């Protein structure tokens, strides 16, 4: 568990992430105690949850090699998923196998997030921590990187080696 004693002014990444919630002080307090906090979706960002077979680092590397911005990425080791914070998307179409678009408009209005600090809390950690800039990963860039990385790591998307996947929403 993370034991993070915050200075009177929390780091910029913590303030930005907590600031999207209806009660930022609650989230900051939870993180200061090393606990995860629910953070709402749909206001400043949505999230794409990706069934992860160890490909998060490769996707991040692919995006960076292509010169594309990479926003915060949360890894849940228990469920073997990564969650990418992406711009709010009001278009109804998101259809990429092994992924799920989470918005504030659906049955997932908030997601549990550990403190935006090094280390692991409750089986979750940040592959890319929020830095306070508001930078997010573009949906299209993430989809392109997934399509490039997955065949290299486990066979073409849709093949028997690619595994099924979570619902594409």
Distance, in Å, from the CA atom of 33 to the CA atom of 19, rounded to the nearest integer, reads 18
Q: Is the pLDDT of residue 166 over 50?
A: no
Calculate the alpha carbon distances from 92 to 88, 105, 148 in Å: 11, 11, 24
> Would you state the pLDDT for residue 163?
37
The pLDDT mean for the chain works out to 83
Over the stretch 28-81, which tens digit does the pLDDT of each residue have?
A: 999 999 999 999 998 889 999 999 878 899 999 999 999 999 999 999 999 999
**SS3 of residue 47 by DSSP:** strand
Q: Is the pLDDT of residue 160 over 90?
A: no
The whole model's pTM is what? 0.83
The distance in angstroms from the start CA to the end CA of the chain is 33
Over the stretch 135-154, which tens digit does the pLDDT of each residue have?
A: 999 999 999 999 999 887 66
């Amino acid at each position: 568990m993370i034991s993070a004693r915050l200075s009177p002014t929390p780091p910029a990444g913590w303030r930005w992430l907590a600031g999207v919630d209806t009660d930022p002080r609650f989230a900051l307090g939870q993180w200061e105690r090393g606990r995860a906090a629910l953070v709402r979706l749909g206001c400043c960002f949505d999230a794409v949850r990706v069934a992860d077979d160890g490909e998060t680092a490769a996707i991040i590397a692919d995006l960076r090699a292509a010169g594309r911005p990479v926003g915060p990425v949360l890894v849940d080791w228990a469920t073997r998923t990564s969650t990418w914070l992406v711009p709010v998307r009001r278009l109804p179409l998101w259809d990429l196998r092994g992924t799920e678009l989470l918005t504030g408009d659906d049955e997932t209005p908030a997601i549990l997030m550990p403190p935006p600090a090094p280390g692991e809390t409750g089986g979750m950690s940040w592959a890319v921590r929020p830095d306070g800039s508001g930078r997010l990963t573009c949906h299209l860039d993430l989809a392109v990187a997934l399509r490039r990385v997955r065949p290299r790591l486990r066979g073409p998307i849709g093949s028997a080696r690619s595994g099924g996947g979570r619902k594409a929403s």
